Amino acid sequence: MKARMLIVAVLLVIIAALLLYRNIEYSETVYPINMQVIEPDESGMKFGISVDPDLLNFGKVPEGSSSEKAITIRNPEDAPVKIRMYPSGDISEYISFEKNDFVINKNQEEKVYIRAEGKTAGNFTGSLVITAGTVGSGWLEWMVPLL
């Protein structure tokens, strides 16, 4: 009798996991990042400014200093979304986030600060990868923070 109850319990867990898995939706967006770290000289600090909305460009950053940019992520959906962000490429070791794993509630937005550290002179490029995860059924919304 105990073995039969255990088998039924395991089957119910497997069915629940399959239903949940079929309802999870992920999307991924990739934005280019670049930064030029320059050596300081006698003429003073140099810096660059970029207003390109499709490129996270930290411009010229003096060696030993940093540059910070803010991005706003909007959730226009009628359900909460789990956001994960990470850098890739040779710039990744120089990038840090104020937060990179969080939930944006439905019809809300979140501002995130991204910092690039000018540790070593050179040109660095890569990507900012933003993954958004949500569930397809409203009754599973409580699971979004666990994604």
Instruction: Find the mean pLDDT for residues 111-127.
Output: 91
Q: Which residue has the higher pLDDT, 6 or 129?
A: 129
Burial of 135 (0-12, 13-18, 19+ CB in 10 A): buried
* pLDDT at residue number 48: 55
pLDDT band at 82 (very low <50, low <70, confident <90, very high): confident
Q: Strand 101-104: give its sheet, edge to edge.
A: 56-62, 24-38, 122-135, 81-88, 101-104
Q: Comparing 140 with 81, which gets the higher pLDDT?
A: 81
pLDDT at residue 86 in the model: 93
H/E element, 5: helix 2-23
Evaluated on CA atoms 85, 89, 91, 94, the torsion sign reads positive
Sign of CA dihedral 146, 69, 30, 36: negative
Looking at per-residue pLDDT, the higher value among 36 and 140 belongs to: 36
Question: What structural domains and CATH numbers belong to the chain?
Answer: 25-146 (2.60.40.10)
Sort strands 24-38 and 66-75 into parallel, antiparallel or unpaired: unpaired
Say whether pLDDT at 93 is over 90.
yes
Mean pLDDT to the nearest integer, 84-104: 92
Q: What percentage of the chain exceeds 70 in pLDDT?
A: 74
pLDDT tens digits along 41-80: 655 555 555 556 667 888 888 888 888 888 899 988 888 8
Closest CA to 131 of 24, 15, 17: 24
Mean pLDDT rounded to a whole number for the chain: 80
The pLDDT value given to residue 28: 80
Q: Residue type at 83?
A: I
Position 111 scores a pLDDT of 93
